[in-house]
Amino acid sequence: MVSKHKLHAIALVSIAMVLMLVNIVSAASFSYIANSNDNTFSVIDTATNTVVATVNVGVTPQGVAVSLDGTTVYVANNGDNIVSVINTATSTVVATVPVGNGPSNVVVTPDGTSVDVTNEDGTVSVINTATYTVT
């Protein structure tokens, strides 16, 4: 049986790989990584492979998604049931959205109008990207 810690590590590696692929395709200058052990989120300059910002977010951040225009990052914080909304220009948290129990993954919908969050309680929370509220 795989421990919860190992599953979290596997999930983080998978997310990092997806983010790297997304960044290659979009030619973005930055990668965004959740640091679940210290409740932060890192911004990595892909040109220099250096951490350029570290942002405090909620407890046990896991899933990360970037808005279609690259201006906003959404971080699912599994330990306190919130999603942190981060402005990429300033690397600051601009909103904190309460969601279901144990949010783990986030994805921006193709039209960019909402963010879907999968929760460990079997629910999906849908965040309106204009108002940062669950609809």
pLDDT at residue number 10: 56
CB under 8 Å to 52, separation ≥6 — which residues?
A: 30, 43, 44, 45, 91
73-106 residue pLDDT tens: 999 999 999 999 999 999 999 999 999 999 999 9
Q: Domains in the chain, please, with CATH?
A: 4-134 (2.130.10.10)
pLDDT at residue number 23: 36
Q: How many CB atoms lie within 10 A of CB 87?
A: 14
pLDDT at residue number 15: 53
Residue percentage of the chain with pLDDT more than 90: 79
